Amino acid sequence: MPPTDPRTTATEPDQPLTFADLGIDKRVLRALDDVGYESPSPIQAATIPALLAGRHVVGLAQTGTGKTAAFAVPILSRLELRQKKPQALVLAPTRELALQVSEAFERYAAHLPGVHVLPVYGGQGYGVQLSALRRGVHIVVGTPGRIMDHLEKGTLDLSELRFLVLDEADEMLKMGFAEDVETILAETPDDKHVALFSATMPAQIRRIAKKYLTDAAEITVKNKTTTSANTTQRYLQVAHPQKLDALTRILEVENFEGMIVFVRTKQATEVLAERLRARGFSAAAINGDVVQAQRERTINQLRDAKLDILVATDVAARGLDVERISHVVNYDIPTDTESYVHRIGRTGRAGRTGDALSFVTPRERHLLKAIEKATRQPLTQMQLPSVEDVNTTRVAKFTDSITEALSSDQIGFFRDLVTGYEQQHDVPAADVAAALAVLVQDNQPLLLDPEPEPQRVFEGKRDKKAGAWDHERGRRRDDGDRPRRSGTKPPRGRSDVPMATYTIAVGKRHKVEPRQIVGAIANEGGLNRGDFGHIDIRGDHSLVELPADLAPQTWAALERTRISGKLIDLSLQQGQQPADRSTGPKKKPRTKKPRS
């Protein structure tokens, strides 16, 4: 039965419910049992009956509360399998979330014969999507930009749509999809049932809900913190150049199964993964440039314990759920609290314990405070493992490996070899064993050298003789490192990547903001926020600094990208050369006016 009060607070019930109590189709119940679901979460217990009863739903819920099953289960329970035109459309802000939701639908539909689910997102070829749509699909899960493309081309028929879900609606609005979402809502049948899920409820979402959702059941998940109570959250204050050494020590000392290390840029994933492999760790990178097949292979390697460390960007790790992940490391601390919550949500899931560790440079302490305020959970400061800690761990692992080798079937053969060498060369067996250990170590020392004497650190104060201490570089600044004069903004973007200025065909006339430009281009083009430089919004166009060597697949994806419903028509500014980031701001080149 639907709740009598349109506003419902979803809490743990006094008597434990089962999914069978909610009126779900028996074939869907079998699938839920197959995946190990025992009892519904609060959001599921409140949402599923309302959607089964045909009501609109507004759900205020954080990620990780089980909201995907909350809308997928009732939709599958009410599908008309003989109908081949799409009956359900789920809008998601990113391709990763779209894929995650599609996979969830397929799991829950395991015992529903002939159900077809199609993920639709930018960066994927149109051919695959068009072929599936011609054959007929029941459920479409996609990003707003690509859905709008299909609607304009006439390749997606939503005339018989019965269910529309807005998943992470606040994220879609932040990324500039508000106009696309409203267009889709307006152009779909009036009698459809709408479910809107959002972590926050800003005025714009409240207005959309009031306009398109009549007599909606409003469901709020209470008594939940934004981060899992099963996850231990710590931070380490470390200078930027010392991050790799700090991570290496932690990996040696910390007892972990699988780990995700988050960085800000795609290039950083490859660089860090390569450096970790060079230091003997099993590591691989995933980012927006990694094709889906390779991404799946890498994740399966992590799941099967053939890989221990995944170095990832936020976008690439969205929707990733691997039971072996015991640790999440924010190698680069995120600049917004929502990204932090999403990152550490990769561990400590489904009752498991997890550890989250964030590297914080002295200049990033304000980000740490913002995270603590938003999550209402203080992070515990940890100390960098000492050389003695690392050496103790190395000796313990070395002796454990000896103990394990003693049980080998080949121990007798090698004992005879050592005994023969001992007698022939008159060398004690202990010396022979030590020589073999040197061979195993490839002539590298087992132990770290003692730490040098600590140097004096100037806490941000100017030293008259040596200049100011630069926390980011771990040294004093020389004259060339001095900050720019007050009022001169330093360039944004990666300092080690050549940048160029691009033109996009949206500007002030289209009421765009920098966050919309960043959100749309990053999502569709697989870029990271750190890949953006200056953004100059003008009358009917904008200038955006991006990496000079955009990949062909990024160009292809951005050709179809829309902001506020308009194609951005990305082009490299005429006569533009890659920007030199090593010096101060340059005089802006003349602008080529975009095509109308």
Q: Residue 194: which of 289, 581, 171, 186 has the closest Cα?
A: 186
DSSP 327: E
| Residue 450 within any structural domain of the chain | no
Ranges of beta strands (E only) in 47-183 are 57-60, 88-91, 117-120, 139-142, 163-166
Question: Same domain, yes or no, for 60 and 143?
Answer: yes
Out of 386, 404, 424, a domain closes at 386
345-to-284, 334, 422 alpha-carbon distances in Å: 20, 14, 57
Q: Which helix (H) or strand (E) holds 72?
A: helix 67-77
| Residue 583 within any structural domain of the chain | no
DSSP-assigned beta bridge partners for residue 475 = 470
Q: Residue 74: which of 108, 36, 111, 34 has the closest Cα?
A: 108
> For strand 163-166 and strand 193-198, is the pairing parallel, antiparallel, or unpaired?
parallel
What pLDDT was estimated at residue 463?
39
| Residue 399 within any structural domain of the chain | yes
What pLDDT was estimated at residue 469?
37
What is the three-class DSSP state of 195?
strand
Question: Same domain, yes or no, for 183 and 330?
Answer: no
Residue 439 is which amino acid? L
User: Cβ(284)–Cβ(298) under 8 Å?
Assistant: yes
82 burial via Cβ count (<10 Å: 0-12, 13-18, 19+): exposed
Q: Whole-angstrom Cα distance, residue 154 to residue 135?
A: 15
Which residue bears the tokens 């809900």? 209
Q: Which helix (H) or strand (E) holds 372?
A: helix 365-375
Q: Whole-angstrom Cα distance, residue 71 to residue 105?
A: 10
Question: Same domain, yes or no, for 101 and 119?
Answer: yes
Question: Same domain, yes or no, for 381 and 394?
Answer: no
- Phi, psi (deg, nearest 5) at residue 441: -80, 0
What pLDDT was estimated at residue 453?
52
User: Cβ(107)–Cβ(35) under 8 Å?
Assistant: yes
User: Cβ(68)–Cβ(102) under 8 Å?
Assistant: no
Question: How does DSSP assign 30-61, residue by residue?
Answer: HHHHHTT--S--HHHHHHHHHHHTT--EEEE-
CATH number, domain of 517, equals 3.30.70.330
- Phi, psi (deg, nearest 5) at residue 28: -70, -35
Q: Residue 576: which of 593, 559, 560, 592 has the closest Cα?
A: 592
Question: Same domain, yes or no, for 91 and 204?
Answer: yes
| Residue 56 within any structural domain of the chain | yes
Question: Same domain, yes or no, for 246 and 208?
Answer: no
Extract the tokens encoding 35: 């995946």
Question: Same domain, yes or no, for 293 and 360?
Answer: yes
Question: Same domain, yes or no, for 144 and 67?
Answer: yes
b vs e for 118-151, b when ≥16 Cβ sit within 10 Å of the residue's Cβ? bbbbbbbeeeebeebbeeebbbbbbbbbbbbbbb
| Residue 154 within any structural domain of the chain | yes
What pLDDT was estimated at residue 276?
93
What pLDDT was estimated at residue 222?
57
Q: Measured on CA atoms in the order 468, 471, 473, 475, is the torsion positive or negative?
A: positive
| Residue 2 within any structural domain of the chain | no
Alpha helices, H only, 109-177: 126-135, 144-153, 169-174
Out of 440, 458, 476, a domain closes at 440
Question: Same domain, yes or no, for 350 and 411?
Answer: no
Q: Residue 350: which of 485, 229, 512, 248 has the closest Cα?
A: 229
| Residue 373 within any structural domain of the chain | yes
Q: What is the domain range of residue 395?
A: 388-440
404-to-37, 334, 362, 400 alpha-carbon distances in Å: 39, 42, 44, 6
DSSP 80: -
Question: Same domain, yes or no, for 370 and 425?
Answer: no
What pLDDT was estimated at residue 472?
37
What pLDDT was estimated at residue 318?
67
Q: Which residues in the chain come in under a pLDDT of 70? A: 1-16, 36, 38, 62-65, 222-229, 318-319, 338, 349-351, 443, 451-496, 574-596
| Residue 336 within any structural domain of the chain | yes
- Phi, psi (deg, nearest 5) at residue 504: -125, 150
Question: Same domain, yes or no, for 397 and 348?
Answer: no
Query: CA 524: distance to chain centroid?
Result: 15
What pLDDT was estimated at residue 157?
92
Domain count, the chain: 4
| Integer Rg of the chain from CA | 28
> For strand 57-60 and strand 354-360, is the pairing parallel, antiparallel, or unpaired?
unpaired
Q: Residue 120: which of 106, 136, 133, 134 has the closest Cα?
A: 133
Q: Whole-angstrom Cα distance, residue 482 to residue 461?
A: 13
User: Cβ(184)–Cβ(151) under 8 Å?
Assistant: yes
Query: CA 466: distance to chain centroid?
Result: 41
Q: Whole-angstrom Cα distance, residue 15 to residue 558?
A: 51
Out of 188, 221, 254, a domain closes at 221
Which residue bears the tokens 């999550």? 375
Question: Same domain, yes or no, for 117 and 237?
Answer: no
CATH number, domain of 124, equals 3.40.50.300
